[in-house]
Structure 1
Amino acid sequence: SASHLIKTLEGLLPDGKFSSESGRGTEDGLGPLASVVFDDGKGKAAIGLSLGRVDPEGTGVAEQLACPEKVYTPYDSCSSKTLADGSRLLLLQGYEYPDKRADTKWWHAYVVTPEGYTVDASEWNAPAEKGEPVSRDEPPLSTAQLKALVTSKEWRPILRALPKPQDEPVQQPVPQAAGGDTILKNLTSLLPKSAKVTTRQGEDGFAYVVVNDGKGASLVQINAQPNMSDVEGELFGSGAQTLPDGTKVVTHQGPGEKGGQGVVMWTVDTIRKDGFRVVISAFNSGAQNTAATRTTPALTMTQLKAIATSGKWRG
């Protein structure tokens, strides 16, 4: 029951006062969870924990256990490792808001057992996840305490009451996006020689680099995806330029999207006649959520257009 989960959570926390308890039991279709506001005498802090069951080899599990890219999600520390019993554990000390517009810290632990049982715990240095001012410098539980909380054997009887996860639906084969290594190789080969790469990362259909031409760090990100004709009408309207080979091009220059102070975003978006889309953006900062490091991005709009329309993407 919900009350049993709440009692179990409170029993695993250090001495303190509890308020604002809420929860769901194993019968709830949304899955069991418990949340409390905990006060150890140093300020109220929200703590929440949920239980689940997944296919441990299913798609998405590895992604949830991976430390996020710091370029997009700032954090103070993160570790992902396999424990002695074969469980995989993620421990993260980060922030509720990637742009840090508030001082709310979010510390997180997530474990997946070999059987596919999951325990997901979060804590904040405020009485609520959002909308409340911080009440203490840091959340109350250390990473060691968070690990002990999610790996506690007290959760096992509750986890065993959970139904098996439904089989993932069979996906119909679709044209595959280019691999991250290929996109990175193409992107770096098309950069101007003045743009020295300091950081790089790629995955299917996407890659980014941080470059520096001696005037400050500049993030450059690119997507290369087939089968995007369904967005052509929406994104490539009457203002689009059509090249001799039928490729449509639109450009955008405006503020960044992640709250970094003074950050601007320059974008060139292209789509080939067969629906193959390449969109590239450059920023005047090494990350979207940190303040500008320079006046303009390291690449001009002309250089961005040359990269996006290059024949290398169809090679």
Structure 2
Amino acid sequence: MPVEQHSDPFEDRLGTALRQAGHTFDPDDGAALAAAGHARGRRLRLRRRRAAVASGAASLALVGVGGALLLPGDDSQEPQQRSVATGTTAAPTPTTTPLPLSRADMIRTFQELLPEGQFGESDARGTGEELPPYARVVFDDGKGAASISMSLDRIEPGSDQARQIAECPDKVLTPYDSCSSSRLADGSLLKIFKGYEYPDRRVDTKLWTADLVTPNGHYVTVSEWNAAAEKDAPVSRPNPPLSTTQLEALVSAGVWRQVVDAMPADSTKPDPSVTETVPAGADGAAVGQTLADLLPKGVEVVAKGGQDTEYAYLVVDDGKGKCFVQVNVQPDMRDVAGDLYGSGSETLPDGTRVATRQGPGEKAGSGVVMWTADTMRANGMRVVISAFNAADQNSDATRETPALTIEQLRAIALSPKWDALVKG
């Protein structure tokens, strides 16, 4: 996406939100193009920051407000599933024997673990390739063709990323039908998610996923759709083919841990002998509270949420309808200042750069507009705040304009209260 459209800081929250299967990367999908910054950790976010200068017209935030959610009537509420929040103690995953697989072996193994049915188009990567292994097949159990894929990787056990993968999304940010998070008997974390390919439901393509993280750092994810392709294919059946029980059995099959163990060492890991200074991110709770404190009189907070660092949102109401407001507070972003603040921006006497934008919320519902104030201090600290004329980013407009004017958004973003949240 052209940098002239400016960056949406919330886009780089989505990359790993629902799945991290490399084959699902779609160059036409802004959410997939966004960097996987926060979920990958501060170091990786800094590396990808320059690539995250993306469209400012659309805004989606990473899922990741914790805990398990079990909804009435959801078949994922099975007796053996327990919330991660219970802190259930379990034995560690046993050591596995590495099992190298070629592309053909990956497809064959994947198909053998699926139910009876017909197989169509397929694709895969083996263990000896530069990118992690994956497999994808078109599967038909007699009820319609469906795309099913799986991807393998390594992850640091007990890391923030592992925790975030196992957490159910914040429904304000990512609409879905059901989600459960549990700890299996061997200590693995399992999340079963049933949602949609497009959060705004502009088409009825469903996306169901299973994510598994073992105590030894194996990461397995399975995704299935009720269409023969994840995008741009007609819905071919009411639901994806695999049930909750089948998803769990497939993602937790022991063979995938052996395949992960056969992957070559990760050459992208940073050299521990090289010291890299990483600016500290603002505490997410403090970001949300600061935003609430800076709201004008007459604007009431009716809901709130966010992430551990840098991002928060509020749903506010001034008596004329709900309005979604989100803010991102980022440390030193001077390396992309030229891309963020073009000819239409201004520079204040203290060196702060300011850009304001008013336009449609391209990824939101019908009639939604997005107003943004984007600021960067002389030290590179960036505060960018956006307001919508809807209660969330995926619903239709509930009012003509946002509850906050562009002048009020600008004043909030320029408040000196933000400076105390970022150090280093």
- Superposition pairs of residues 1-315 of structure 1, within 5 angstroms: 1-58=102-159, 60-166=161-267, 168-169=269-270, 170=272, 172-202=276-306, 203-315=308-420
For 1:311 and 1:32, the matched residues in 2 are separated by 48
Q: What is the identity, as a one-letter code, of the residue corresponding to 1:155?
A: W
Q: Which sits farther off after the overlay, 200-209 or 215-224?
A: 200-209
For 1:237 and 1:104, the matched residues in 2 are separated by 38
For 1:275 and 1:195, the matched residues in 2 are separated by 30
CA 166–81 in structure 1, closer or farther in 2 if over 3 Å, else same? farther
Q: Which structure 1 segments of 5+ residues have no match?
A: none
Q: Which structure 2 segments of 5+ residues have no match?
A: 1-101
Percent identity, aligned pairs only? 55
Instruction: Report which of the two structures shows the higher radius of gyration computed on alpha carbons.
Output: 1
For 1:272 and 1:55, the matched residues in 2 are separated by 34
Q: Is the 8 A contact 1:54 1:165 kept in 2?
A: no
CA 223–157 in structure 1, closer or farther in 2 if over 3 Å, else same? closer
Deviation at 1:165, TM superposition (A): 4.0
Aligned partner of residue 192 in structure 2, secondary structure: strand
Q: Is the 8 A contact 1:53 1:164 kept in 2?
A: no
For 1:252 and 1:167, the matched residues in 2 are separated by 37
Over 6 Å off, 4+ runs: none
Deviation at 1:262, TM superposition (A): 0.7
Deviation digits for residues 34-88 of structure 1, max 9, x if unmatched?
2221111111111112223333244533333332333332211122222121101
Tell me what 2:64 maps to: none
For 2:192 and 2:244, the matched residues in 1 are separated by 7
For 1:56 and 1:166, the matched residues in 2 are separated by 18
CA 246–6 in structure 1, closer or farther in 2 if over 3 Å, else same? closer
Deviation at 1:25, TM superposition (A): 2.5
| Higher strand residue share | 1
Q: Aligned pair count?
A: 315
Q: Is the 8 A contact 1:55 1:165 kept in 2?
A: no
Tell me the TM-score normalised to structure 2 length. Answer: 0.69
Deviation digits for residues 197-235 of structure 1, max 9, x if unmatched?
122123322211111223222110112223223333333
Q: What is the identity, as a one-letter code, of the residue corresponding to 1:208?
A: Y
Deviation at 1:93, TM superposition (A): 0.7
Tell me the TM-score normalised to structure 1 length. Answer: 0.91
Q: Is the 8 A contact 2:128 2:264 kept in 1?
A: no
For 1:158 and 1:226, the matched residues in 2 are separated by 39
Q: Is the 8 A contact 1:54 1:164 kept in 2?
A: no
For 2:114 and 2:390, the matched residues in 1 are separated by 41
Tell me what 2:32 maps to: none
Q: Which sits farther off after the overlay, 272-281 or 86-95?
A: 272-281
